[in-house]
Structure 1
Amino acid sequence: MAQKKTTHRTAEEKAATAAKREARRARTERARAQAEERRKKAKRKEQLTRFGLIAGVLVLVVGGYFLISNLGSDKPDTAPAGASDDYGLVLGEDDAPKSIVVYEDFLCPFCGQLEQTVGDQLDEAVEAGEVKVEFRALPFLERISDFSPKAANALAVVLDTSGPEVAKSFHDLLYDNQPSESGPFPDDDQLVAWAVEAGADEDAVRPGIEDMAFEGWVDAAGEAASKAGIKSTPTVLVDGKKVEGQTLAEIAEAMVGPTS
């Protein structure tokens, strides 16, 4: 039997982490206000589609998040076992004819809609050896709720303790039960319950989920996405090129349509 990991932190460490998180939220709010003021002064050159308008709002959220993230973090960014070097959950064969990267946030409603639109087809393509897919979970919507980074951390915990297949099942359950941006939001016990439903061992995942064991890694994933020019979720890359579709149907077609 595998030994249990002792990942519980002391009360002092938890209190310090909570204080840092509160300070980070305050800085995020200030950054968001500054970004909003700049947005009001800027002139729009063209009308945006409804999807583009929401993406534009998310840019402000993401900009505020990364402004405070780049101030520095003293949390370790140790990666979960099985994660890619680019902060992703990878499924499929390396030699698959098509490679897809999905930047996502488990609180983002458009990410949930994209999953509903293309999830089953993408799973079938991976199973058939046609596609290699990498899911990169980001904490873009932390300003709205802690559920955003908590869900990304929970995915990392499940990947670390239970492997990619169980992590993918957990990933899908997060979208199957995605909360509204206005809440209510699932708590740690619910995240643990979904992890167990996906096939993880409760004793293995509960400490890491409750203690945000991979919080530093999740933050680092967000910073890396910012440096790569990712400004909203979902953002999809197919064979290294960003999909520029304006609708979810267009993005889905690029993901599971014929290989060019």
Structure 2
Amino acid sequence: MGGAARNARKSRQQAAAARSVAQARGSKSDRNKIIAVVVAVVVVAALVIGGVLWINSSKNATQDSAIQPGTTSSLGPGVVEKRDGAVVSVGKPGASKTIDLYADFLCPYCAKLQQDFGPRMEKAINDGQLTVRYHMVILLNKNSDPPGYSLDSANAALAAADQQKFTAFHDALFKNQPQEGGRGYDKAQLIKLGQDLGISDPKFAQTVNAGTYDQQLQTAFQQVQNDPKLQQDFGNGQVGFGTPTVAVDGKAVPAQGDWLAKILGG
């Protein structure tokens, strides 16, 4: 074999070797791409599954848990809790100011109002300055899973008022508020809260289980929803009834800034 032939053969061998290396590298690159895609899919799937589990856990956070009674309420001597239909009045006879407070136990804004102003309202009640007429509104009754927590909790609060335990019951429900859209507390848990607050009368549990005040609460909700004096302007042309609503002399007032000081000092 001549030199030219040997060189040509060597060139063909080198070219073939180069193609083999390129193919090997290409195959390795493709494998790496496939592995990367598989890993990405697994990571995304894990994140989705983890997110679903977290959401479900959050939504069901109230299951099998006790509602903590707390120690936030401290009504003093002479304060009267009186249920009148679906409304509970809390105050001393002859208090100089009266407000109506409309709230839903599932409403996060109502819980914020209770957190910010509840202790001050109770102090004003103890000092004989203020009577609060509490209206348990069932605006968000469909917003629990299963639906119905707003109504069940409102009925239980009225049952607690019959036992002179409304304020403590009311404060505990807001302090341990369930997540809107999640599971509320069931009737057994609401009864247990009443018992932990010292209610021993079996009529309380009977009233909670029977939904004794459900119809009164539903009727009252329809009335306040359609009361023009309780309509508020939410901006962007939206006018209607919402929670929380504070009313003086039957008319809604803006619950903004230090609204309580304005009412007490007005």
Please, what TM-score do these two structures have when normalized by structure 1?
A: 0.61
> Residue 151 of structure 2 aligns with which residue?
149
Q: Structure 1: give runs of 5+ residues left out of the alignment.
A: 1-80
> Residue 29 of structure 2 aligns with which residue?
none
Aligned length: 171
Amino acid in structure 1 at the alignment position of 2:242: S
Name the CA distance, whole Å, in 2 between partners of 1:205 and 1:239.
Answer: 32
> Residue 259 of structure 2 aligns with which residue?
254
Amino acid in structure 2 at the alignment position of 1:112: A
Which one has a bigger Cα radius of gyration?
Answer: 2
Report which structure shows greater RCO (CA 8 Å, sep ≥6).
1
Alignment of 1:189-204 (within 5 A): 189-201=188-200, 203-204=202-203
User: How well do the aligned residues superpose, as a CA RMSD in angstroms?
Assistant: 1.9
Name the CA distance, whole Å, in 1 between partners of 2:261 and 2:161.
Answer: 25
Q: Secondary structure of 2:83's match?
A: coil
Larger % of strand: which? 2
Q: Structure 2: give runs of 5+ residues left out of the alignment.
A: 1-80, 231-240
Q: Percent of aligned pairs with the same residue?
A: 27
Assess if the C-alpha contact under 8 Å between 1:104 and 1:136 holds in 2: yes
Name the CA distance, whole Å, in 2 between partners of 1:128 and 1:256.
Answer: 14
Q: Deviations over 1:12-62 (max 9, x none)?
A: xxxxxxxxxxxxxxxxxxxxxxxxxxxxxxxxxxxxxxxxxxxxxxxxxxx
Alignment of 1:68-87 (within 5 A): 82-84=82-84, 87=86
Name the CA distance, whole Å, in 1 between partners of 2:175 and 2:265.
Answer: 28
Residue 89 of structure 1: how far off its partner (Å)? 0.8
Alignment of 1:1-260 (within 5 A): 82-84=82-84, 87-145=86-144, 146-160=148-162, 162-163=163-164, 166-201=165-200, 203-229=202-228, 230=230, 231-245=241-255, 247=256, 250=257, 253-257=258-262, 258-260=264-266
Q: Deviations over 1:73-130 (max 9, x none)?
A: xxxxxxxx94236x31101134222111100100011000000000001100000001
Name the CA distance, whole Å, in 1 between partners of 2:105 and 2:92.
Answer: 25
Q: Secondary structure of 1:102's match?
A: strand
Q: Secondary structure of 1:255's match?
A: helix
Name the CA distance, whole Å, in 2 between partners of 1:114 and 1:167.
Answer: 18
Q: Secondary structure of 1:117's match?
A: helix
Q: Secondary structure of 1:193's match?
A: helix
Q: Deviations over 1:215-238 (max 9, x none)?
A: 111112212212323410000013
Q: Name whichever of 91-100 and 103-112 sits farther off.
A: 91-100
> Residue 44 of structure 1 aligns with which residue?
none
> Residue 66 of structure 2 aligns with which residue?
none
Name the CA distance, whole Å, in 2 between partners of 1:130 and 1:100.
Answer: 11
Assess if the C-alpha contact under 8 Å between 1:88 and 1:137 holds in 2: yes
Residue 204 of structure 1: how far off its partner (Å)? 2.4
Q: Secondary structure of 1:103's match?
A: strand
Name the CA distance, whole Å, in 2 between partners of 1:182 and 1:226.
Answer: 22
Amino acid in structure 2 at the alignment position of 1:140: L
